[in-house]
Homo-oligomer: A and B are copies of this chain.
Amino acid sequence: MVFISEKEVAEHNTYQDCWVIIHNKVYDLTKFLPEHPGGVGVILDQAGKDATTIFDTIHPQDIILRYLSPDVCLGEVDPATVSKTSNVEVKRHYEPIKKKPPLNEILNLFDFEAVASQLSAAEAWSYFSCGANDEISYRENHNAFHRIWLRPRVMRDVSHIDMSTKILGHDSSFPLYITATAMAKLGHPEGEVLLTRAAHSHGIIQMIPSFGSCSLEEMTSAREKGQIQFYQLYVNKNRNIARKVIQTAQENGCKAFFITVDVSVIGRREKDMQIKYDGALPNIIDENNENDNYLRRDQGASGVAASLIDPSFNWNDLKWIRSITSLPIVIKGIQTLEDAILAAEYGCDGIVLSNHGGRQLDFAPSAIEILPEVVESLKKLGLFDKIEIYIDGGIRRGTDIFKAIALGAKAVGLGRPLLYAMSSYGQVGVEHALQILKDELEITMRLSGANTLADICPEMVDIKNLTNHSITPKDYLSSKVYKRLVPRRSNL
């Protein structure tokens, strides 16, 4: 192992030549830089420095081994050269949080979000809460549920309510699973394993993220007996890596693969990008010299993630995946009925209607809006019974779950709200959030005259206004820059 001095590392601190120290190892990340899913800027800010602290915050320790080729590791930093202050502790969000309301006063999922928005570190909040561009789709996901009304039936015996279901054959106490979300450690030091424990306590299924801040092994080890976990799969361009990822997940007991197909490129999440510039990061651009060729730290569209997530991945590649595993395959990120039909025709076991929480392509439709037309199309083609349909995005209320079930979904995925609950109250917060949804769904079933999920029929919802949304979520960028024309009374 070669020893490299801290001073030498410090000289490789540019976009064209970028070294960093992580756990005393020196890595040359120059080639990897444009493909970093978290963006160029965050690495560049650590260029030439010891990045261990910030790395550990959001990555499992084995991630470099898993995704990068061995030759990026140049050697070890020479301990004799390391200054004491080089790896300053980044002020983190998970200091003990005071002054939050007692948990039993949290009445709905928005209350968690409000607490998290106040108490989280700015970068955690912005990463969790952001959407693509104007965040139209992000907010539409929630709004769309508001265009569905209920048709409650009365005078039925609703003494006994049963919310249990099966997802890909596995029991679930109610029709909801924890969907994959990255970087949970931004919100809580324990990260995703905390969600694993909460999922067990409620008898629901967790989908393990590809880019979690805990390692796959940490998450599967936290699994209790009988507990079910699925695996969210991003297909690496290097098929050997991809194969290893699939096999490892399977060996660790994951019961299905949810291939995420809506990230052929990472969307522009401007609120998150704003935060990066507003933070304490130094400004390396001379702002007075307009004509300098400025570095675009967000790095735009083309380069990012081209190897970690293969942009060439397509239907034909399914055969190869099927050849490696016999576990159920679910396509996550379907956004049109055409692709839903293709998924069924290609023999997939399920689909998740999803626009990735509005984080990818602004103006992508909400899952709940396209659910009825997807179900209708599949039924017409005799494919509805061959495939399970889940949706995610915008779920905040028990009525939202009820509406999804009524329209043909098998279950819904929940992401952000649990991160907010986790960030503000830890595991007990996540469990409370889930309990609120259970209670809300139970009340909705009771007041709608449905004893079991099978009783929740399409006639119990009114969707005649669902696709009528001439009003989109407010465009704050344009409305904020618009200077109003007001009557002339300024002199008065």
Contact residue among B148, B397, B440, B490 (Cβ-Cβ distance under 8 Å from A278): B490
Among A135, A152, A447, max chain B CB count under 10 A is at A447
A74 at the interface (CB under 8 A from B): no
How distant is the Cα of A101 from the Cα of B154 in the complex, in angstroms? 43
Q: B290 and A442: CB pair below 8 A?
A: no
Q: A150 and B104: CB pair below 8 A?
A: no
Q: Hey, which chain B residues are within 8 Å of A477, CB to CB?
A: 108, 110, 485-487
Q: Hey, which chain B residues are within 8 Å of A277, CB to CB?
A: 101, 105, 488
Instruction: For residue A187, give the distance in angstroms from its CB to the closest CB of chain B.
Output: 14
A361 at the interface (CB under 8 A from B): yes
Q: Hey, which chain B residues are within 8 Å of A488, CB to CB?
A: 101, 105-107, 111, 114-115, 274, 277
- Closest B residue by C-beta to A467: B464
Q: B363 and A150: CB pair below 8 A?
A: yes
How distant is the Cα of A428 from the Cα of B160 in the complex, in angstroms? 47
Instruction: For residue A39, give the distance in angstroms from its CB to the closest CB of chain B.
Output: 12
A285 at the interface (CB under 8 A from B): yes
How distant is the Cα of A428 from the Cα of B290 in the complex, in angstroms? 7
- Closest B residue by C-beta to A260: B154
Q: Which residues from 16 to 69 on chain A have a C-beta closer than 8 Å to any C-beta of chain B? A: none
- Closest B residue by C-beta to A106: B488
Q: Hey, which chain B residues are within 8 Å of A261, CB to CB?
A: 154-155
Q: Hey, which chain B residues are within 8 Å of A335, CB to CB?
A: 151-154
How distant is the Cα of A161 from the Cα of B300 in the complex, in angstroms? 14
Q: If the complex has contacts A118-B489, A428-B290, A478-B110, are A363 and B154 also in contact, measured as CB distance less than 8 A?
A: no
Q: What bracket does the count of chain A residues touching chain B fall in?
A: 35 or more
- Closest B residue by C-beta to A446: B265
A357 at the interface (CB under 8 A from B): no
Q: Which residues from 312 to 363 on chain A have a C-beta closer than 8 Å to any C-beta of chain B? A: 312-315, 331, 333-336, 338-339, 342, 355, 360-363
Contact residue among B142, B439, B447, B471 (Cβ-Cβ distance under 8 Å from A262): B447
A465 at the interface (CB under 8 A from B): yes
Q: List 26 A-B contacts (CB under 8 A).
A: A101-B489, A104-B285, A104-B297, A107-B274, A111-B487, A135-B485, A139-B478, A150-B365, A152-B262, A153-B336, A153-B339, A154-B333, A154-B334, A154-B335, A155-B314, A157-B314, A159-B312, A264-B447, A267-B443, A290-B429, A301-B439, A362-B397, A365-B462, A396-B478, A465-B469, A470-B470
A108-B270, A125-B483, A154-B333 given; name 20 further pairs at CB < 8 Å. A101-B489, A101-B492, A105-B274, A107-B268, A110-B478, A113-B481, A117-B489, A119-B492, A133-B440, A142-B478, A154-B261, A154-B339, A157-B311, A274-B485, A277-B488, A301-B446, A311-B446, A469-B470, A477-B487, A480-B484
